[in-house]
Structure 1
Amino acid sequence: MAKNEQLKMRSKATFFVFSRIFTYKLKMEGSYLNENTQTSQKVELYNKRIITIRTVLNIYGVFAFIGLILSVFTIPVSVSEDMQFFYNKKLLMGQMKIKEFLLFIISAAVAYFVLVNIYDKYTKK
């Protein structure tokens, strides 16, 4: 029985030593007894971009004026009664008409963007 009790004492001592080592390692890592707890925080994964009226009007203006410029080249394209595309040379504008139309579009675009941005600047006060 003395041997049996010695083995029990050794196993208890071994368990005690290993539990102390394990506890020490956990303490060093900071996870023992929730020593390094974090409170829940509101985390924003992305910044929400604020879309203003100015941004919407500027984007609208870009697409509108690009569409007007493209209309110079797409007017002669028509659809026949058989639902076939064809190029109608009678609808082509001359060089002078194209220059006048592009000048009008560019001047209208400049006026539009100036007015949109001036309006936005003075309404923020």
Structure 2
Amino acid sequence: MEEFKLLQRLEDFEAWVMPRLDSFPRAEKWAAALEIKRSVYRLQWNAIRVQKTPRRIPKRKAGAVMALDEELEFLRLRLRIAASRRMLSQRSHRHATKLLMEIGKMIGGLQARIAQGAQP
């Protein structure tokens, strides 16, 4: 069930971040903005992998959750760099950080349940 909430939060984040990427300077739209977009898409892809991986294969599910966590960290890095280069306002960066923190807590919950042996 938590995977469905995670997918919804990722869709909400995508809807929020994409218009902000359109306002990046032209020179950066095809580099920085594209990397951020790809990272959002990979997060969604990995969330679907977590959701679709059968419970009877815990190692595969744990690997999918780890990939999700790694991609989230990459996205945080790209947004931090965009904010430091003033492509993203500090206010937008704070909001993105808040949204990604909520997503990170959901991913952390999945990791904890897998570590305890319970299947998400």
TM-score w.r.t. the length of structure 2 is: 0.34
Higher relative contact order (CA 8 A, sep 6+): 2
Decide which structure has the larger Cα Rg and report it: 1
Instruction: Name the one with the larger helix percent.
Output: 2
Instruction: Name the one with the larger strand percent.
Output: 1
TM-score w.r.t. the length of structure 1 is: 0.33
